[in-house]
């Protein structure tokens, strides 16, 4: 099959390809008379020579000429990640799919470039975010409130990935229900006359001190234990024979 040479990055690829697989340029749309063309050409030469800092510098120069230059953002992505193609870049650093430069490239791409770039970045997002999502789902099923809180944090860190936002809200609701149940049970125990039961309630409230009036409950529990112990001491002082029975 015949090969063609990219007018921008000079890479050779099959003429069956709609876009250059390295810089995503469309041969019939590369304007060699554009003011930024020579600057971009030099940037991609530096990328081929792996002179990454110079490549990034010339991409910035191209953006000074045309702030909406799609190819300049592609060049920056390659230079910043020391890769010769977008697909190699994604393999090296999947998180580049959500980088600022990538968002700009998608914004200024034409329809065909956007379709190809979006497919590549979506695949990268699945590779990097999928495991985090699955781990969050597993934690969400735990009976431990701390695990559910962690799951909510993980879902929120995923942004718009899959149904992460909805799952985060489910975690929030589940956490509030679980905390409310534990909170109410702990406060019921604070009314006990058994100091061990009250201490157990205090221990539980200390693990959720951020929730509602837990801190007030802790202080009330400590005060109640002191009152019970003072009352026992006063009583046994008058009835020493009963000291070991209380």
Closest Cα partner for 47 from 62, 59, 65?
Answer: 59
In whole numbers, what is the pLDDT of the chain averaged over residues? Answer: 88
Determine the 3-state secondary structure of 51 from DSSP: coil
pLDDT recorded at residue 130: 82
pTM, full prediction: 0.57
pLDDT greater at residue 145 or residue 59: 59
Return the minimum-mean-pLDDT range out of 10-24, 98-112, 133-147, 159-173.
10-24
**pLDDT greater than 70 at residue 240:** no
| Gap between the Cα atoms of 5 and 77, Å rounded | 22
Tokens of 108: 């200024």
Return the bridge partners of 13, or none. 4
Tokens of 167: 């799952």
Mean per-residue pLDDT, 212-226: 93
Write out pLDDT tens, residues 1-53.
Answer: 688 888 888 888 888 888 888 889 887 677 778 888 899 999 999 999 999 99
| Gap between the Cα atoms of 179 and 149, Å rounded | 11
- For residues 246 and 235, is the Cβ–Cβ distance under 8 A? yes
Determine the 3-state secondary structure of 174 from DSSP: helix
**pLDDT greater than 70 at residue 195:** yes
**pLDDT greater than 90 at residue 206:** yes
pLDDT recorded at residue 245: 55
Angstrom distances, CA of residue 191 to CA of 158, 184, 197, 225? 43, 12, 9, 10
Write out pLDDT tens, residues 74-110.
Answer: 999 999 999 988 888 888 887 788 789 999 999 999 9
């Amino acid at each position: 099959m015949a090969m063609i040479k990219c007018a921008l990055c000079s890479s050779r690829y099959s003429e069956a390809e709609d876009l250059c697989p390295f810089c995503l340029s469309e041969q019939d749309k590369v304007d060699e008379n554009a003011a930024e063309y020579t600057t971009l050409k030099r940037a991609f030469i530096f990328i081929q020579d792996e002179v990454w800092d110079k490549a990034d510098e010339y991409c910035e120069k191209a953006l000074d000429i045309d702030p909406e230059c799609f190819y300049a953002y592609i060049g920056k992505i390659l230079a910043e990640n020391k890769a010769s193609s977008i697909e190699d870049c994604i393999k090296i650093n999947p998180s580049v799919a959500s980088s600022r430069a990538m968002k700009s490239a998608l914004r200024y791409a034409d329809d065909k470039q956007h379709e190809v770039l979006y497919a590549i970045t979506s695949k990268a997002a699945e590779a990097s975010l999928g495991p985090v999502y699955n781990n969050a789902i597993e934690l969400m099923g735990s009976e431990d409130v701390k695990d559910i809180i962690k799951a909510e944090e993980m879902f929120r860190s995923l942004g718009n990935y899959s149904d992460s936002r909805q799952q985060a809200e489910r975690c929030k609701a589940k956490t509030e229900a679980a905390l409310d149940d534990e909170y109410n049970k702990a406060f019921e125990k604070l009314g006990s006359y058994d100091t061990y039961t009250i201490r157990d309630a205090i221990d539980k409230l200390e693990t959720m001190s951020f929730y509602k009036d837990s801190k007030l409950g802790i202080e009330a529990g400590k005060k109640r234990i002191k009152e019970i112990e003072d009352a026992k001491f006063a009583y046994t002082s008058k009835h020493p024979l009963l000291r070991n029975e209380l």
